[in-house]
Amino acid sequence: MSARKTLGGIVAGTLATAAVVAGAAPSYAVYTADADDVLPTASSDLIGAGSDTTQHAMKLVAEAWNSSLPAPDFDVATLAATSGGTVSVLGDEITRPNGSTAGKSLLYGDNENPEIDFARSSSGLKDAEKDAGLQLLPFAVDSLRMAVSHDVASHAPGTLTIAQLVGIYDGTYTNWSQLGGTAGTIVPMLPQDGSGTLSFFTDQLKAANGGTAVTLAPSVVRVQEHDDTDIKGDANAIAPFSVGRAGLLGDTVALLDGFSADRALYNVVRADDLEDADIQSVFGPDGFVCSDQGALLIAEAGFQQLASEADGGECGVATQSSTSNFTTSGVKEPIATTVALTGASTAARKATLKAVVKGSTKPDGTVTFTEGGTVVAEDVPLIGGTATATLTGLTPGKHTYQAVYAPVVGSLFQASQDGGVVTVKTTATIKESFPAKLAKATKKAKGVVTVALKGVSAKATGKVTVLKGTKKVATAKLVNGKAKLTLGKLATGKNKLTITWAGNAAGVPATKKFTITKK
C-alpha cells in the first residue's frame, strides 16, 4: 500500500480542514457508474486510476485477484477513466481521473491522493514524474494505429504513412482526395489532454517531423480516447486508436494499414512503494499481472503480456525509461479441469470426502468442500491430484456435498467443481431374546435378534450371525430389523455366544455378547 496510508489520522485531518483540495470534485458533479469500475471498499485495497487504454485489462485483473481462493489479504480496486463525473475513493468524491497523466498526478505533488496506490499508463514518464520518483512497471504491449469509420464507408485511403499523418495533423492535407481517398474534408481527431495515447501519438508525429513538435491545425478535434462515438458515423473522421481497445468495440471502427507503433503499457507506483509486498505480489516480476493467468486476462483485454526477464522480457521490472523490449510471453491457453467427488462413511457420524482433480497436466491448488452453501472443509491442498477431508460429528443420513477446485493464483488451470451424496452411517445396537438358561430336555434355543439404528428411520438389513467362538451356530436374514433364529446344539454348561452384524449403508457393524447356560 501507499506509505502515506500509514499517516491515516494526519492525512484525514488535513483533508478535513483543507478549504480547497487539488483535484477535488466540483460540487455539481455526480458519480456515473462505469462497467470498468472496481470500486475500493477498504484503505488496505490497492487502488488505481488513470489510462483509458488499460482500464478494462486492469478491471479483469482486479476481479480475478479479488475472487481468487484462498481469499487474498487485500483487494485490487481500479477506477475507470471514462463516464465522467466523480468517483468515490473511500467516501471522498473526486473528479474521475481521465487518462494516464491524470492518474499519475495523484501519486505526487499538489494533486497527490494518499489513497491512490498505482496509476494505469499507456505512455512513459515525463521529466516531472521522473523527478518525483515515479516508477514504471511494464506488463503488456499494445499497437497504435489509425481508426476510421466502419459503420459508414470511410473516405480515407486504406493505407497512410506517418509522413502523411504529419500532413493531416498540421493542416497540409485537408481533403481525402489529396491522399488518394474519396473527396471529403478531413476531420482529424486527437484524445483529450492528459491521455497517454495523445502523448505517445504526438511523440510519433514529432519524431517523423525531424524532432520538431507538430503545430496542430485548427481543424483538429479533441475527443475521448478510444471512444467510437464521433468516429463510427463520420466518413471523414480519423483518430489514433489502440488496437486492443478497438477489438473490444466489435466492428464499429476500421484500422488503416501503414502507420503502426508498438508501445508498452504500465502500472506506475511511487518509489517508496516499489518494494511493498502487496505491490510486488500484483505488479512485480513474479506478481499476478505477469503470471500465466495474468496473460489470459491481458489477452482478453486485447493486448499481449510482456515476457518475464527469464524469457528475455521485462514484465514487472521497475524502470523510469520507456520500455522498448516488446518480447511477449506468447499465446497462453487455459487448462480445463474436472473434479470427481466421492465419499464414504466407515465410522458412525463420520465421512471421508475425496476430490480427484484432473487436467491435461496435474493441477495444483486447493479444494473447498461445502454442504448447502456452508463450508465444511476449506482450502484443502491437492496431494497427487487428490484433496481429502475427514468430517466428524455429522448427523446420520444423506448429505449432499460440493467440491470446488481453486487453482493456484496465477496459473492456467481453470476452476471446476462436482457434487455428490454421501450417506453418513450411525451406530447400531443389538438386542436378543434367547433364554439365559436352557433346560436339559430342551434341545435347541430359539430367540429374536433386533438390530436398531440410532437416529434414523432406516432399518437394519442383511444377516445376523451367532457364533460360539469361531463356530457359526445360526444365521438369519433381518426383516424390518429383526430376525428369528434357532441355535444349533449347545453343550452342557455355560455357552459364550456372540451376535454379529456386518453393517449396511445406514449403520456401522455391531456385535453383542451373551451366554446361555444349559443344564
- Torsional sign, CA 119, 123, 128, 134: positive
At residue 25, the pLDDT reads 39
Distance CA 268, CA 432 (A): 80
CATH superfamily, with its number, for domain 337-424 = Immunoglobulins (2.60.40.10)
Long-range (24+ apart) CB contacts under 8 A made by 205-213 are 205/162, 205/165, 205/166, 205/169, 208/162, 208/163, 208/165, 208/166, 209/166, 209/170
* pLDDT in single tens digits along all 519 residues of the chain: 565 365 443 233 333 323 223 334 333 346 667 899 999 999 999 999 999 999 999 999 999 999 998 899 999 999 999 988 999 999 999 999 999 999 999 999 999 999 999 999 999 999 999 999 999 999 999 999 999 999 999 999 999 999 999 999 999 999 999 999 999 999 999 999 999 999 999 999 999 999 999 999 999 999 999 999 999 999 999 999 999 999 999 899 999 999 999 999 999 999 999 999 999 999 999 999 999 999 999 999 999 999 999 999 999 999 999 999 999 999 899 999 999 999 999 999 999 999 999 999 999 999 999 999 999 999 999 999 999 999 999 999 999 999 999 999 999 999 999 999 999 999 999 999 999 999 988 889 999 999 999 999 999 999 999 999 999 999 999 999 999 999 998 999 999 999 999 999 999 999 999 999 998
HSE at residue 167, side-chain half, CA atoms within 13 A, is: 12
CATH topology of domain 3-141+264-311: D-Maltodextrin-Binding Protein; domain 2 (3.40.190)
CATH topology of domain 428-518: Immunoglobulin-like (2.60.40)
The full set of domain ranges for the chain reads 3-141+264-311, 142-262, 337-424, 428-518
At residue 30, the pLDDT reads 61
> Does this chain's domain 337-424 share its CATH topology with 428-518?
yes
At residue 31, the pLDDT reads 63
At residue 498, the pLDDT reads 98
At residue 28, the pLDDT reads 36
CATH code: domain 142-262 is 3.40.190.10
Lookup: cell for 409: 493464483
The reported pTM is 0.79
At residue 269, the pLDDT reads 99
At residue 3, the pLDDT reads 58
At residue 7, the pLDDT reads 41
